Chain A
Amino acid sequence: DTAVSQTPKYLVTQMGNDKSIKCEQNLGHDTMYWYKQDSKKFLKIMFSYNNKELIINETVPNRFSPKSPDKAHLNLHINSLELGDSAVYFCASTRLAGGNTGELFFGEGSRLTVL
């Protein structure tokens, strides 16, 4: 019973295409994130949603659009894909209510390859 699940696990596509990655958590957490891990293994935060509201939006191109239909889901849509978008995208969740300090639970990652 996977706590944070992402689909698809692998995605290969052409430049210029539009693609989406979905994330679901069954931990009852109130906050979800998208991280990007590049080929050098740097993990960079992209977005965070708390109770379906966007609360962190790093300097990410506006071709990336997150959507949170409810607290358990956070999807990432990418328009007009570029070669530099190739990376592993991780979804994560945490519970921040009650003053918790954000232990992150990560999904398995979605490897995006843009050709």
Chain B
Amino acid sequence: LAKTTQPISMDSYEGQEVNITCSHNNIATNDYITWYQQFPSQGPRFIIQGYKTKVTNEVASLFIPADRKSSTLSLPRVSLSDTAVYYCLVGTLMNTGGFKTIFGAGTRLFVKA
């Protein structure tokens, strides 16, 4: 499984767009890229998942270049409540069943007023 690398922390202001990039140079053909959000004392919560190109949902966009060696989570117009740790995750659907995952170290986003 591909190891992931992401910035340790980022600061932003309310209303700004935030882009967090994750590197996964050794990503394999069967790997999917997923991002999770975690607040203190809570479990991680799914944000978005993609395989290639661009994926958008109601809370974020995920940009994946053609070589898939990196991905960028884009959060439009962040608010104070978006202060959290964001994890980039590479996962593989295994032939034996299961979805094996490697979480990155997480990026601590701090949104200021």
A and B pair up: yes
* A binding-site residues for B, Cβ under 8 Å: 4, 31, 40-45, 48, 50-51, 53, 55-56, 90, 92, 94, 96, 99, 101-109
Known contacts A55-B97, A96-B93, A109-B41: A103-B103 contact under CB 8 Å: no
Q: Which A residue's beta carbon lies closest to that of B102?
A: A45
- The bracket for how many chain B residues form the interface is 20 to 34
From B100, which residue of chain A is reached at the shortest CB distance? A56
Say yes or no: A109-B42 contact (C-beta < 8 A), given A45-B100, A55-B98, A94-B99. yes
User: Do most interface residues of chain B lie in helix, strand or loop, or is the interface mixed?
Assistant: strand
Q: Is residue B110 within 8 Å, beta carbon to beta carbon, of the partner chain?
A: no
Q: How many A-B residue pairs have CB under 8 A?
A: 72
B91-106 contact mask (Cβ, 8 Å, vs A): 1 or 0: 1011011111111011
Q: Knowing A92-B43, A107-B43 are in contact, say whether A102-B101 is a contact too (CB < 8 A).
A: yes
Which B residues lie at the A interface, using CB under 8 A? 32, 34, 36, 41-46, 49, 85, 87, 91, 93-94, 96-103, 105-106
A90→B44 CA distance, assembly (Å): 9
Are B98 and A50 interface neighbours, CB within 8 A?
yes
A96: which of B85, B99, B106 is its contact (CB, 8 Å)? B99
User: In the assembled complex, which residues on chain B have CB atoms less than 8 Å from the CB atom of A105?
Assistant: 46
